[in-house]
Amino acid sequence: MESSQIICEGLRHILYQSELDCFVTRIETLDDFLEMLNSHPVDILIANPMQFVNREKDIKKLRRSHPHLAIIGIDFGVMKKKLFHLMDAYFSIYDSVQQILEEIEKIEERALSDNNIFPDDDNLTDREIDVLIKLVNGNSNKEIADTLNISIHTVTTHRKNIAVKTGIKSLSGLTIYAISKKIVSIEDLKF
């Protein structure tokens, strides 16, 4: 996902000349990518992180709906530090071909060796995800109810649904689950 045709063609050439088994498609915007995902599965997105500016909520929603998607950022030397947590890896535009391929291979190996212990069909609702985020950040049922403008009873119901859908009852287990599903990042957690 990069608007520069020269950069995209260079990456395409690097990838096709490598031993990686891949199919490369060029997408110019995040909206185009989100639309493409409806009809084409994607394992790795290599993206200009500037596409993520002011789109953090969209990226987090993308992570929840496609937990196996890996995002690799292209660092042009001007990348904002706050965008790093949205990506699984990144490489610099000034890196060698070997360095770029090593980053991509690491992500590919991680995906292949990822023995995901959590179900893919948990289907948490948006509100359950809101409650989960508040839980892993240490909020009490009352604090969650007040923040989300719902009753404590409703919070309790959401917590039960989360436990049933994920099979996890402990707060530590839910925290690991939320991080592994990219619902939250470690940097976002308030200890």
Which residues lie below 8 Å from residue 190, measured CB to CB, with a gap of 6+?
137, 138
Mean pLDDT value across residues 109-122:
57
Element (H, E) at 106: helix 97-113
Look-up: residue for tokens 């200890």? 191
CATH numeric code, 5-113: 3.40.50.2300
Average pLDDT for the chain: 85
Does 126-188 match 5-113 at the fold level? no
Phi and psi for 53 in degrees, rounded to 5? -60, 130
Per-residue pLDDT at 172 exceeds 90: no
Per-residue pLDDT at 40 exceeds 90: no
As a whole-number percent, the residues of the chain with pLDDT over 90 amount to 34
State residue 115's pLDDT score: 44
Look-up: residue for tokens 């391929």? 101
State residue 127's pLDDT score: 92
Mean pLDDT value across residues 96-122:
72
Which residue ranges make up each domain of the chain? 5-113, 126-188
8 Å CB contact between 53 and 8: no
Residue 56: both structure tokens together: 């953090």
State residue 80's pLDDT score: 65
State residue 81's pLDDT score: 67
* Higher-scoring residue by pLDDT: 115, 172: 172
Look-up: residue for tokens 């991680």? 110
Beta bridge partners of residue 46, listed in sequence order: 72
Top CATH class of 126-188 equals: mainly alpha
